[in-house]
Amino acid sequence: MLYILHFNNIFHVWYLSGVRWEEDLLNKSGVKHYYNIKYASSNDGVNWNQTGQVAIDFKDKYEYAIARQCVIKDVLNDFKMWYSYRAQKVINTYRIGYAESEDGINWVRKDDDAGMDVSNSGWDSGMICYPHVFDHKEKRYMLYNGNDYGKTGFGLAVLEYGY
């Protein structure tokens, strides 16, 4: 999965990058995949400068999957990113994370500021993942999937305060 923005005559991309595979006897497939989000840039959209720069990395030893990023260059010329991250000490399903950056390259994770968590019951009570954020008519919206990667549908959230 990748996400591309074009600004200041440069193409910027944030992409999912596999880090490693490990044996995992608790997983049905027998392996655990580790992936995070990296950054690259291009002047022409064809030839990319891939330095291996990690944009969003694992926050602790429990986390192993960071994916489905969505980036917005905000009105204040900073960057905001929403993404899915998987695994905490006692939770093994996806949650929606959030990060900010001044340059689009160096990010500060602020997952507690994502503004969302699972519901107490219903279709998104066990998992929330795969956010897509967009602005429309001066409001910010997020499409996202619920339990079992959206098996029973997806949701639409509206930011309740200004951005």
E runs forming strands in the chain: 2-7, 10-23, 31-42, 49-56, 65-73, 79-86, 94-101, 108-109, 129-136, 139-145, 154-158
C-alpha 153, offset from chain centre: 19
CA max distance for the chain: 49
Confidence of residue 163 (pLDDT cuts 50, 70, 90): low
Domain boundaries, the chain: 2-158
| Helix, coil or strand: residue 149 | helix
Tell me the pLDDT tens digit for each residue of 117-131: 999 999 999 999 999
- Comparing 32 with 46, which gets the higher pLDDT? 46
- The predicted pLDDT at position 27 comes to 66
| Helix, coil or strand: residue 97 | strand
Average pLDDT over residues 125-151: 94
The rounded mean pLDDT for the chain is 92
Average pLDDT over residues 80-104: 94
The C-alpha angle 58, 64, 69, rounded to 5 degrees, equals: 70
Tell me the pLDDT tens digit for each residue of 2-44: 899 998 899 999 999 999 998 876 667 678 889 999 999 999 9
The C-alpha angle 60, 61, 63, rounded to 5 degrees, equals: 70
pTM: 0.91
The C-alpha angle 19, 25, 28, rounded to 5 degrees, equals: 85
| Helix, coil or strand: residue 106 | coil
10 Å CB burial of residue 151 (0-12, 13-18, 19+) is exposed
Average pLDDT over residues 34-55: 96
Question: In what helix (H) or strand (E) does residue 150 lie, and over which residues does it extend?
Answer: helix 147-150
- CATH class of the domain whose range is 2-158: mainly beta
Q: Which residue reads 């602790």 in tokens? A: 60
- The predicted pLDDT at position 50 comes to 92
